[in-house]
Chain A
Amino acid sequence: MSQVAGLPLRFRFLPLLHEAHTRDGWLSREAVETIARQVRIPLAEAWEAATSFPEFRFAAGGGDGGGCGGLSCVVNGAPPSESVHARCRFRCFEAPVSGGEDDFPEEMIRLAGRLLAPDITGWDGLRAASSMGSARALDMIDRAGIRGRGGAYFPAARKWRAALGQGRPLALVINAEEGEPGVFKDRAVLCRRPRRFVEGLAIAVSVLRPAVTVIFINGEAAPARRSVETVIAGAGEVFPGGVEVVPGGGGYVLGEETTLLNALEGRKPAPRLRPPYPVESGLFGMPTVVNNVETIANLSILFREGEAPFLDPDPAAAGGSKLFSVSGRVARPGLYEMPLGTPLRVLLAAAGEKDGAAFAAVLAGGPSGGFLPASEFHRRLVPGLLHPTGAVTGSGGMVVLDTTSDLRAAVLETARFNARESCGKCTPCREGLPRVVESLAEGHTEGLDDLLEVVGAASLCGLGQMAPGPIRSARHFWPELFS
Chain B
Amino acid sequence: MSLILNGDEVEAGGSVLDAVLAAGIELPHLCKDDNLPAIGACRTCLVEADGRIVAACSFPASMAKRVDTETKTARRIRRGVLELTLAMQAERGDEGGPLAGETASTASREGAAVDRFAVRTGRAVDATSPFFSFHEAACILCGRCVVACQDLQHISAIGLAGRGRDTRVTPGAADTFRESICTSCGSCVAACPTSALRPRGGAE
* Residues in chain A within 8 A of chain B (CB atoms): 29, 32-33, 42-48, 51-54, 84, 251, 268-269, 273-275, 419-428, 430-432, 434-435, 447, 450-451, 453-454, 457-460
CA–CA, A447 and B113, complex, Å:
13
CA–CA, A459 and B63, complex, Å:
19
Q: Which residues of A contact B41 (CB under 8 A)?
A: 425-427, 460
A386 to chain B, nearest CB (A): 22
A36 to chain B, nearest CB (A): 9
Task: Out of B39, B84, B150, name the residue touching A454 (CB < 8 Å).
Answer: B84
Q: Which candidate, B18-26, B130-138, B152-160, is the interface stretch facing chain A?
A: B152-160
User: Does B7 make an interface contact (CB < 8 A)?
Assistant: no
Task: Out of A275, A435, A460, name the residue touching B84 (CB < 8 Å).
Answer: A435
Chain A residue at smallest Cβ distance from B44: A427
Is the beta-carbon distance between A431 and B80 smaller than 8 angstroms? no
Residue of B40, B60, B146, B173 with highest tally of chain A CB at under 10 A = B173
B15 to chain A, nearest CB (A): 10
Q: Beyond A43-B181, A431-B84, A457-B46, is A450–B76 a contact (Cβ under 8 Å)?
A: yes
Chain A residue at smallest Cβ distance from B38: A273
CA–CA, A430 and B141, complex, Å:
10
CA–CA, A462 and B128, complex, Å:
39
B124 to chain A, nearest CB (A): 15
CA–CA, A45 and B157, complex, Å:
8
A63 to chain B, nearest CB (A): 19
CA–CA, A275 and B55, complex, Å:
12
B-side interface residues, number (CB < 8 Å)? 51
Q: Which candidate, B94-102, B164-172, B190-198, is the interface stretch facing chain A?
A: B164-172
What are 25 A-B pairs at a CB distance below 8 A? Answer: A29-B173, A42-B150, A43-B156, A43-B157, A44-B156, A45-B156, A45-B159, A46-B172, A47-B159, A47-B170, A47-B173, A48-B161, A275-B60, A420-B164, A422-B164, A424-B163, A426-B41, A426-B42, A427-B140, A427-B141, A430-B165, A430-B167, A431-B88, A454-B77, A460-B55
CA–CA, A45 and B181, complex, Å:
12
Q: Which residues of B contact A268 (CB under 8 A)?
A: 159-160
B115-146 Cβ-contact flags toward A at 8 Å (1 or 0): 01100100000000000000000001101001
Q: Which residues of A contact B170 (CB under 8 A)?
A: 44, 47
CA–CA, A427 and B87, complex, Å:
11
B42-83 Cβ-contact flags toward A at 8 Å (1 or 0): 111010000001010010100100000000010011001100
Residue of B140, B146, B163 with highest tally of chain A CB at under 10 A = B163
A273 to chain B, nearest CB (A): 4
Is the beta-carbon distance between A428 and B156 smaller than 8 angstroms? no
